[in-house]
Chain A
């Protein structure tokens, strides 16, 4: 009996709550009239950032395209004169993108990042296919510090062999002295 009473009370309190809601002003933010400032980590339009020295961060390692669940990223890697690996072309099909942010998570160089700018609807679907020049920006995005080539062991304009973070001088192969 007590349980029954409790159930009735529980039901009643539920109905009371919804009834009270009926008289409260709605909390809906009406979008085109009011645009809410979004957190910096919210996920929308993708950009390719540059390192603090102004060079492209993307090394076209194909990890973002591999992790992309909808296969909307494609690219072709190539090598520059000074030993950098970079993207010859880089294409994101935003018509297909689901803004899951996996690409950003997979990126080993902090190159690919998502921005809060979500208002990029287009009537022509081809306008949603972004090429590298559309994606590349002139800032570091959320990661202000990282420069991959200062840590990677490969010789580039950023540093020769042995000149990177925590590296010894190259081994002299013509001497057996320790």
Chain B
């Protein structure tokens, strides 16, 4: 623990700390361009010069390059160091163009700040400036290389931190160029971060180009709700719309960065088609009229068919407040409550995951980076939760071995071992890994329940030789690891996997490893939806209830079943049978368009809200602006309307929980302040896991984890052997997996025009063996005979996936909802090559 003095203040820091970090701990910000806490030091910009007065090293030194040592005396204000920095700024500015007024970085530009604070107000250099041609880097990032000061942050971030190769340094010396070899869309789904880390305006944010300056923006801490990780963002409001989103540093979740889906997914909140007026039977009415009509209708149905004929369905994109109010009024009124997880068996898996995630097992995304062995089971990180892939890469960079057991073609920006298995075999593979991980002798010593669990694990013989061979190096790595983490998805694997992952993590802990468990869930607030929903509940049951007439009224709260329910035709018929379809939403979804009564709700940018991420971390987003129709829309592209008026047009949408509360005023007071304090109490009444949370107004920056303890005796689920055996059946049919992709399948982000160019062309993916047997080649168009009609899609043949499985993205451009419920197996003769318009290939 070296102790040093910086600017007459003494500080003791951990060994290995750089002087620049030590100074930061004292609150002294040494200027920097190339140094970034996430990227480390390279000493490229020379602007962090300080003077060392005492110690082994003396004189002007770069504070980002030297470790803090005992006895060091550092001066950041020494004349020589200040003079040095002034000159550095001046030379960095030699070639910098005179274009701050038209540069979007102006106003929050590090170079601009340093130039002004360094006192370099007048350019002395009168020679010619170096110039570069710029490149097209896709719809998200704008390139302007003239402004570059060669700090290498972009290439270090892009190549070292993210692991993508298509952007980096070209040319040499003073002519060094940062870009791609040729124009084109960047490969990485983390490109938006380039505009955050670039200390000047080389990479600027394209969707928010010229929308405003930092000082005009209404910026507030927000959360990303485009996957379950709950990354921290800064939402930026301007002229009544969200124009930009940036990464917000979070120690526990996302670190310094976020993915492009999270960063640019916000456009649904400003979308022109966003409904802002209440509707009754398709006619726009005032909010209060709609509410009165709804009250009357619900009362009538409740009187005629009983309260059980009313079903309310929440969703995993609703805030915790909304879910809590819906749960409470549903229970008090006797309405039926459903969580709204659409795909088959998903609700069960989420509930299991939520139940099994104990504080002792749970790891945060940042803790995951410290693991030395990670096995990802039934999850596709880059497609389901891109920031998980980035965290995995950081673990890999620190030396962790990473394996992915998943049937899908997995692409990750680092080297890992992919064990492509059909979903049914995943639990078996997992069982084998679990059996291989500890010494048997150690297990004997521990006794039950550990030994009972271990004894029930499958032996290697049950698995074929090739799979065994693929798993054996993993077992070796696992045995030598100290901090293994199991990342378990809920999208494709059977429910057994979810339970087994938890059991296995417990087993690893029992044998002395610091094992962790990390679940992936299907939505931003899926964790609390899992807690608050009925164990027996599936959306299919709701549809069945409508079909058999026991449900007469359906209230969908921020939920659009048309997006994820796999049987569109059946859903349409069912909804048509309803006496009353109520939709509360901020999207003009297919369900909203069919609703008998529609009430607009506000997005989290307008009201804030609480969200529980996949590790049970309750986090708060604050409102970024107060809503209303964006000026860009109300002005029709020209200037804002020339009218007087105190009100904000289009400000009718209210928080969904408030609408719900107004629906049953005697149950819930529709008062925002009271609501804040009471929602915690209600949640605690609903489920004891919410009981230990601090008051929501006092939530720490990184949120607070839901804490629940289970009895040690019931921790292992020993009785899954039967399930394991059951899942071993193979036949000649395909297993069809409807999956998510990074872009194009997430309901909210598809409203972002800028992300459309990044979507891959949707199609069916299959293994070369299967394609060969069907006589298909890559790029062929196939006609799939599904239960609800034929679906024509192009086929992609990829080697790195499991044979016997076909993968179909739930893409907005595909009518995959023709699948029907329960259908996951597809006979081979149902897939045929469609008549190609170009004629048969030779």
Contact = CB atoms under 8 A, between A and B. Distances in A.
Contact between chain A and chain B defined by CB under 8 Å: yes
B132 A170 contact: yes
Contacts of A97: none
Contacts of A77: 210-212
B696 to A, nearest CB: 34
A60 B642 contact: no
A96 interface: no
B171 A79 contact: no
B639 interface: yes
Contact of B639 (A109, A132, A161): A132
A52 to B, nearest CB: 18
Interface stretch (A1-9, A14-22, A31-39, A152-160): A152-160
Nearest to A160: B133
Contacts of A91: 639-640
B216 A170 contact: no
Interface stretch (A42-50, A61-69, A115-123, A137-145): A61-69
B238 to A, nearest CB: 9
Contact of A60 (B177, B210, B632): B210
B239 interface: yes
Given A79-B209, A162-B131, A168-B130, A108 B172 contact: no
Interface string B384-408: 0000000000000000000000000
A89 B171 contact: no
Contacts of A167: 128-129, 131
Find the residue from B99, B134, B177 having the highest chain A CB count within 10 A: B99
A65 B213 CA distance: 10
A67 B170 CA distance: 40
Given A153-B99, A153-B131, A173 B146 contact: no
A120 B107 CA distance: 34
A170 B126 CA distance: 18
Nearest to A153: B97
Contact of B98 (A126, A153, A168, A171): A153
Contacts of B100: 61, 108
A91 B639 CA distance: 8
B131 A171 contact: yes
B505 to A, nearest CB: 50
Contacts, number: 106
B213 A66 contact: yes
Contacts of B170: 173
A78 interface: yes
Given A79-B209, A89-B640, A161 B130 contact: no
A132 B144 CA distance: 29
A122 to B, nearest CB: 13
A168 B144 contact: no
B673 to A, nearest CB: 30
B216 A65 contact: yes
A170 B146 CA distance: 9
B216 A66 contact: yes
Contacts of B639: 89-91, 131-132
B647 interface: no
Contacts of B215: 62, 66
A76 B97 contact: no
Nearest to A89: B639
Contact of A166 (B127, B147, B209, B212): B127
Contacts of A173: 132-133, 170-171, 175, 177, 179
Nearest to A108: B101
A176 B171 contact: yes
A169 B639 CA distance: 40
A166 B216 contact: no
Given A151-B98, A154-B144, A171 B239 contact: no
B142 to A, nearest CB: 10
A63 B101 contact: yes
B172 A176 contact: yes
Contacts of B128: 166-168
A166 B101 contact: no
A85 to B, nearest CB: 4
A102 interface: no
B1 to A, nearest CB: 46
B129 A168 contact: yes
A62 B637 contact: no
B149 to A, nearest CB: 14
A72 interface: no
Interface in B634-686: 635, 637-640, 642, 644
A59 interface: yes
B129 A152 contact: no
A88 B213 contact: no
B102 A85 contact: yes
Contacts of A169: 131
Given A62-B216, A168-B131, A171-B175, A129 B642 contact: yes
A59 B129 contact: no
A99 interface: no
B175 A59 contact: no
A170 B637 CA distance: 36
B106 interface: yes
Contacts of B98: 151-153
Nearest to A85: B102
Contact of A62 (B131, B133, B172, B213): B213
Contacts of B635: 89
A79 B638 CA distance: 14
A171 B130 contact: yes
A109 B101 CA distance: 8
Contacts of B147: 153
Given A63-B101, A66-B216, A89-B640, A161 B127 contact: no
A65 to B, nearest CB: 7
A76 B106 CA distance: 15
A161 B171 contact: no
A145 B794 CA distance: 60
B209 A148 contact: no
Contacts of A162: 131
Find the residue from B179, B635, B640 having the highest chain A CB count within 10 A: B640
A79 B211 CA distance: 10
A171 B177 contact: yes
B502 to A, nearest CB: 52
B101 A153 contact: no
A171 to B, nearest CB: 4
A59 B638 CA distance: 16
Find the residue from B106, B175, B635 having the highest chain A CB count within 10 A: B175
Nearest to B175: A171
A161 B131 contact: yes
Nearest to B127: A166
A131 B100 CA distance: 25
Contacts of B127: 166
A63 B107 CA distance: 9
Contacts of B126: 166
Contacts of A126: 642, 644
B210 to A, nearest CB: 4
Find the residue from A60, A65, A77 having the highest chain B CB count within 10 A: A77
A65 B101 CA distance: 13
Interface in A58-116: 59-63, 65-66, 76-79, 85, 88-91, 108-109
Interface of A: 59-63, 65-66, 76-79, 85, 88-91, 108-109, 126, 129, 131-132, 148, 151-155, 161-162, 166-171, 173, 176
Given A66-B216, A166-B127, 7 more contacts: A59-B102, A77-B211, A90-B639, A131-B639, A153-B146, A161-B134, A173-B177
- Ranked 6 nearest A-B pairs via Cβ: A153-B97, A89-B639, A61-B101, A77-B210, A152-B99, A85-B102
